[in-house]
Structure 1
Amino acid sequence: MLVSEVMTTPARVITRDVTVEQALRRFRRQQVTAMPVVDGLGHLVGIVSEADLLRAGVAPEPPAEADHVAAPQAVVGGVMTRRVKTVSPHDDVAEVAHAMGELGIRSMPVLSRSRVVGMVARSDVDGHRSPPTASGVDVSRPGHSAVRRRSARARGGGIMSAAWSMGVVVGVDGSAASRHALEWAVNTAARHGGSVVAVAASEGPRGPVVPGATAGARPDAAPELRERAEQAVASLPGAPEPGERVEVRVEPGTASRVLASYSRTADLVVVGRGDGAGAERAARGSTSRTTAATSHGRVAVVPPGAGTSTPDHVVVGVGNFDEDPTPVLELAFDEARAGDRPVRLVHVIDPHVAFEAGTGRRGYAELWHDIATHELGALLERWSDKYPDVERTVSVRPGEVGAVLLDEVTERDLLVVGGRRHPAPAGRLLGSVPDALVRMAQCPVVVVHGGPGR
């Protein structure tokens, strides 16, 4: 039996701007304990429960005759939970029931094409709860009884995925590279139940300064840029109308600065990589390189020719074991789970560094290999509790870091690496490994400076 057969539909939803007091009245009137929170386009941005609203502490109304100044009222957007566990209408009810019981979840939104189409509660599925059957158990790793989603490959997603409620932002300028990136962004957002915002940057000034015009923007640029962006949306497979799956915005400023600003809150910022031809372009740095170097969160750079559908493998570059890998691994495992794909952790041993660190002892590289293999294995074990259903492997190889990581991927994979944010000039001149990968990889590269909102 599928979720679509037991879910409550249509789902009762609420928006972020509703006050807590109004929301409580609605909850009691409609006799619900939780509601999905949606934006103006109907995309899921969070979930709010009755307990969340009660914790906000709504004060009783003062007497009508009292003189008082109304205090600002708390709104749903300030108390909701942003990271939402969701299911698909095509998920198996028994597996959902088992997962909800294991995680102690009372209700979840049902998503289809990034929109809430229903709600499923524990009471809807409890009668169908049973342990995963042999066909639904991942037996590749003894000791783990992970639900292997039977329908996951067919729909490109997975049960109990955490929706990207902050959405995906992609830069568009009408070029072939940006259209390619837009298609990749839409497909990626769909796997994670997220919305998409296509942003065109008005970089001016290219004409006369007009009093009262937005600083840095050419006065006639916005309509032209919006038209280009909407044409790019219309060229997507399935030709969605602008606003149906993709919201179009025009923002003043350089593309890299606008996208870096969005990276503070978005689940992912996406930018296409052009051919990079020309000495002037190389000297000043491309939009993709600058955005990847100066952003605050996660940035995906999509090269020409890269696959735009679910990646075959998610490859993660793991460097210094003293650094916290959580933001990098969280993105990698989320993507692997959403697409039902394996994760491969790669650590590279530079033989020259190993030789110097071992004060000339050539056997030090072998010792380093053993230590790295052990550390990666321990790291994967810690993440297996959170993602028991994700297949994972380890690769420890000697060589130059960038060259080895490039050798590990094809155009149909996804490469995920950590990055340190730099000011724009430094970010282009450092010649870091992430910068080299962004310039040279044949597959999409995600540089993770931190999680959403960090």
Structure 2
Amino acid sequence: MTMPLVVGVDGSEASLEALDWAADEADRHGVPLHLLHAEAGESESSDVIATASLRAAGRAPSVPVSSEVLQEDPAVALIGRGRNAFALVLGSRGLGDLAGMLLGAVGLAVAARADCPVVVVRGAADNRQSRFGRVIVGVEEGEGSGTAVRFACREARVRRCLLVAVHAWNRPPGRSPVSPPARWYAPQAPRRPPAQVLDDALRGAAERIGELVVTRQVIEGPARPALLNAATEADLLVVGARRRRGHTGLQLGLINHALLHHAPCPVAVVPQI
């Protein structure tokens, strides 16, 4: 049985934007769409889910749509459904969240604890509606980006668009900017040269890249502004998240938190497998 793409709906404008994005995404991938409305207290849930179902059917007529209403905490409900989901899709904020740029509490909790990729739909209409033809993936030092790169490759392929792999790095302390690059990463330093970090990550996903057009960006400086700038004209920004050792959930870290709160386009957080 094909796992569905699950989208959380609560009647807010942000959740309707997420629903539109999810319907398009389910159509691209040929997977069912499942609408989930969860509320710990009493609510007009039947109206919310009925309106959302009609909107999804109108947006993507060929996509099978199912729905359910759960009387429980929204974050708990979404995390539970995420155990058997293609991905979870959420709006950038829900009912009751302060208007502005920040991600709501439910979205942050789900992004930090879900077992599947979580997409937070944010940004202007051009970014949400995939008008730039560009998927960005952040690649970090270490082994935390492999699953994210594979996810980004899949997204770029179904969208038939450019894949941009971005790696931001900082010069090791005490190294002169005029020193030969090979000396920056002498045997006593465990880090790989920045370009090699990207090459290794893309090599690991080579079987998924196929005929994709891929560009590499190596940026000296902090990762947060590098990724935010790269995402300005992007349809999707993909980042990885390591699992916590001995604890439930993911290590979102300061960079992922910043992207979830401020990115100018939809953000996918992909757990490391």
* TM-score normalised according to structure 1 size: 0.51
The residue number in structure 1 matching 2:30 is 193
Note the C-alpha offset of 1:347: 0.7
The residue number in structure 2 matching 1:295 is 114
Counterparts of 1:374 and 1:430, CA distance in 2:
24
Counterparts of 1:236 and 1:285, CA distance in 2:
23
Asked whether the equivalents of residues 164 and 217 of structure 2 are also in contact (C-alpha less than 8 Å), the reply is yes
* Structure 1: runs of 5 or more not aligned: 1-44, 46-164, 205-217
What are the superposed Cα offsets for residues 352-379 of structure 1, whole Å, 9 maximum, x if unpaired? xx22xxxx12247953698120232243
Compared CA separation, residues 314 and 412, structure 1 to 2 (3 A): closer
Note the C-alpha offset of 1:431: 5.4
Compared CA separation, residues 430 and 308, structure 1 to 2 (3 A): closer
The residue number in structure 2 matching 1:320 is 141
2:266 corresponds to which letter in structure 1? P
Compared CA separation, residues 305 and 421, structure 1 to 2 (3 A): farther
Is 1:396 aligned to 2:218, yes or no? yes
Q: What is the DSSP-based 3-state SS (H/G/I as helix, E as strand, rest coil) of the residue aligned with 2:232?
A: coil
Note the C-alpha offset of 1:328: 1.0
1:202 corresponds to which letter in structure 2? E
What are the superposed Cα offsets for residues 175-207 of structure 1, whole Å, 9 maximum, x if unpaired? 000000000001011111111001000222xxx
Counterparts of 1:419 and 1:429, CA distance in 2:
6
Is 1:379 aligned to 2:216, yes or no? no
Asked whether the equivalents of residues 243 and 251 of structure 2 are also in contact (C-alpha less than 8 Å), the reply is no
Structure 1 range deviating more: 177-186 or 293-302: 293-302
Larger Rg: 1
Q: What is the DSSP-based 3-state SS (H/G/I as helix, E as strand, rest coil) of the residue aligned with 2:67?
A: strand
Compared CA separation, residues 234 and 304, structure 1 to 2 (3 A): farther
2:176 corresponds to which letter in structure 1? R
2:52 corresponds to which letter in structure 1? A
Higher relative contact order (CA 8 A, sep 6+): 2
Is 1:405 aligned to 2:224, yes or no? no
Compared CA separation, residues 421 and 230, structure 1 to 2 (3 A): farther
Counterparts of 2:222 and 2:146, CA distance in 1:
24
Counterparts of 1:200 and 1:177, CA distance in 2:
14
Match among 251, 258, 265 for residue 436 of structure 1: 258
What are the superposed Cα offsets for residues 230-270 of structure 1, whole Å, 9 maximum, x if unpaired? 212323583678x9632111122221111111222211100
Counterparts of 1:254 and 1:290, CA distance in 2:
11
Counterparts of 1:431 and 1:376, CA distance in 2:
21
The residue number in structure 2 matching 1:362 is 176
Q: What is the DSSP-based 3-state SS (H/G/I as helix, E as strand, rest coil) of the residue aligned with 1:420?
A: strand
Identity %: 30
Counterparts of 2:117 and 2:89, CA distance in 1:
9
Match among 158, 166, 173 for residue 3 of structure 2: 166
Counterparts of 2:203 and 2:251, CA distance in 1:
37
Is 1:180 aligned to 2:17, yes or no? yes
Note the C-alpha offset of 1:350: 2.7
Counterparts of 1:181 and 1:328, CA distance in 2:
21
The residue number in structure 2 matching 1:152 is none
Structure 1 range deviating more: 374-383 or 266-275: 374-383
Note the 1:67-146 alignment, pairs <5 A: none
RMSD: 3.2
Note the 1:13-24 alignment, pairs <5 A: none
Counterparts of 1:231 and 1:195, CA distance in 2:
18
Number of aligned residue pairs? 258
Counterparts of 1:348 and 1:365, CA distance in 2:
19
* Structure 2: runs of 5 or more not aligned: 186-190
Counterparts of 1:253 and 1:407, CA distance in 2:
38
What are the superposed Cα offsets for residues 87-113 of structure 1, whole Å, 9 maximum, x if unpaired? xxxxxxxxxxxxxxxxxxxxxxxxxxx
What are the superposed Cα offsets for residues 18-63 of structure 1, whole Å, 9 maximum, x if unpaired? xxxxxxxxxxxxxxxxxxxxxxxxxxx3xxxxxxxxxxxxxxxxxx
Q: What is the DSSP-based 3-state SS (H/G/I as helix, E as strand, rest coil) of the residue aligned with 2:137?
A: strand
1:166 corresponds to which letter in structure 2? M
The residue number in structure 2 matching 1:249 is 68
Asked whether the equivalents of residues 349 and 365 of structure 1 are also in contact (C-alpha less than 8 Å), the reply is no
The residue number in structure 2 matching 1:265 is 84
What are the superposed Cα offsets for residues 298-351 of structure 1, whole Å, 9 maximum, x if unpaired? 100011524333462111111123x15332122111111111112111111134
Counterparts of 2:180 and 2:28, CA distance in 1:
40
Counterparts of 2:229 and 2:146, CA distance in 1:
24
Is 1:274 aligned to 2:93, yes or no? yes
2:89 corresponds to which letter in structure 1? V
Is 1:418 aligned to 2:255, yes or no? no
Structure 1 range deviating more: 177-186 or 285-294: 285-294
What are the superposed Cα offsets for residues 253-298 of structure 1, whole Å, 9 maximum, x if unpaired? 221111111222211100000285279xx8x962211211121221
Whichever structure has more helix as a proportion of its residues is 2
* TM-score normalised according to structure 2 size: 0.82
Note the C-alpha offset of 1:432: 2.1
Compared CA separation, residues 350 and 203, structure 1 to 2 (3 A): farther
Counterparts of 1:339 and 1:278, CA distance in 2:
31
